[in-house]
Amino acid sequence: MNRNVARGVLLGTMFTSLFVLAIAGLDAQSGPPPQVTSSPKTTEQAFKNIQVLKGRPSDQLIPAMQFITASLGVECDYCHVQGAFEKDDKKPKQTARKMMQMMMVINQENFDDHREVTCYSCHRGAPKPVAIPIISDEERKPPFVEAASDGSQDLPKLPSPDQLIDKYVQALGGAAAIQRVTSRVEQGTANVGGHELPIDIFDKNPDKRISLMHLTSGDNVTAYNGHEGWLAAPGRPLRDMNSSDIEAVKLDANLHFPTDIKQVFGELHVEHQEKIGDQSAYVIFALRQGQPPVQLYFDEQSGLLLREMRYSESPLGLNPTQIDYADYRDVDGVKTPFRWTIARPGGRFTIQLEQVKQNVPIDDTKFAKPPMPTPMPSPPDKKP
């Protein structure tokens, strides 16, 4: 595969309701990746030469680095020495430390320590911040409004969250049909950088899921067995999911998610309407305690879910993932999206299903976690 394809496959954890790509190439700076346990190590315990993000859970370091790459539009080697991430040989790494400290001070002294300013606030996807406003080539779109009966412009009346969710469930085939689904097996292709890669996805209610993207060098695997999640890529050791990954895959592994939305989220608010292409959608902000919001976009006409916006937490800011759903087809009385596109700041890819089977037997061994690699012992220090 070319560099862009490899980058799309190996970078970023792109969660969808049906698929997750594994991160590869972002291992610990020394030894195997840190484990996600009940008492996780801190960043300085799991990695070498941590100076700014000390005291944070070790599984939050990679999301922080992902946020930086997205905010500046760069790759890891912009700041790091490949194969020796702990080294300080590159000036941008030292600058990044200063910028993180500056950002923290700004938020602490001006916003009551709330994270209002992030790397992206200034960089907007460029290594160097732009100081002069840019004149866009496109005309700026006004807010979505409708004409009132008197000819004036007014905000449209919005339905309640219950009305939108109930319409969505009915559009899929009804609560009874959704609840009857106990398993789902999907086969199709993932278009990554123009390359079609076979993919198989297995779901078993209430909370088991595994996806396998078949590469020439082996399988890219993302799995969750109801208790723990892991990711693997050819030539890379097994890696446990971080806490943000786990929260996302819990939603993905629930085949009854449409009927469980009201129970999953403690708060639901309809904020506004928004255009997605030529379609008008109502946007629900769905909130869970201690987690970033999830935005659900429901088609005004059909009631089907068109888009989902998710955010994973990092010490520096929220990493966004956008999933667009299309090509809904009836499978045993339940409408299922046969195509979805996953987009993150680093790129996007599309999955197109060819076959979906429901309520087929799937043995629990399908979701068994392989053993973690045994760390190699460190060589003894040589005495002069």
pLDDT tens per residue across span 61-81: 888 998 999 899 899 999 999
pLDDT of residue 325: 96
**Helices vs strands, H then E, count in the chain:** 9, 15
Give the residue from 263, 264, 265, 283 showing the smallest Cα distance to 273. 283
pLDDT tens digits for range 178-221? 999 999 999 999 998 888 999 999 999 999 999 999 999 999 99
Residues β-bridged to residue 219 = 214
Mean pLDDT taken over the chain: 84
Sign of the C-alpha dihedral computed for residues 36, 58, 29 and 107 taken in this order: positive
CA–CA gap between residue 63 and residue 57 (Å, rounded): 11
Domains located in the chain, CATH noted: 3-123 (1.10.468.10), 157-361 (2.50.20.10)
pLDDT surpassing 90 at residue 146: no
Percentage above 70 pLDDT, the chain: 82
pLDDT surpassing 50 at residue 16: no
Least confident of 31-35, 48-52, 218-222: 31-35
Q: Which residue has the tokens 């702990």?
A: 86
Answer yes or no: are the C-beta atoms of 147 and 253 closer than 8 Å: no
Answer yes or no: are the C-beta atoms of 245 and 238 closer than 8 Å: no
CA–CA gap between residue 52 and residue 137 (Å, rounded): 39
Answer yes or no: are the C-beta atoms of 3 and 193 closer than 8 Å: no
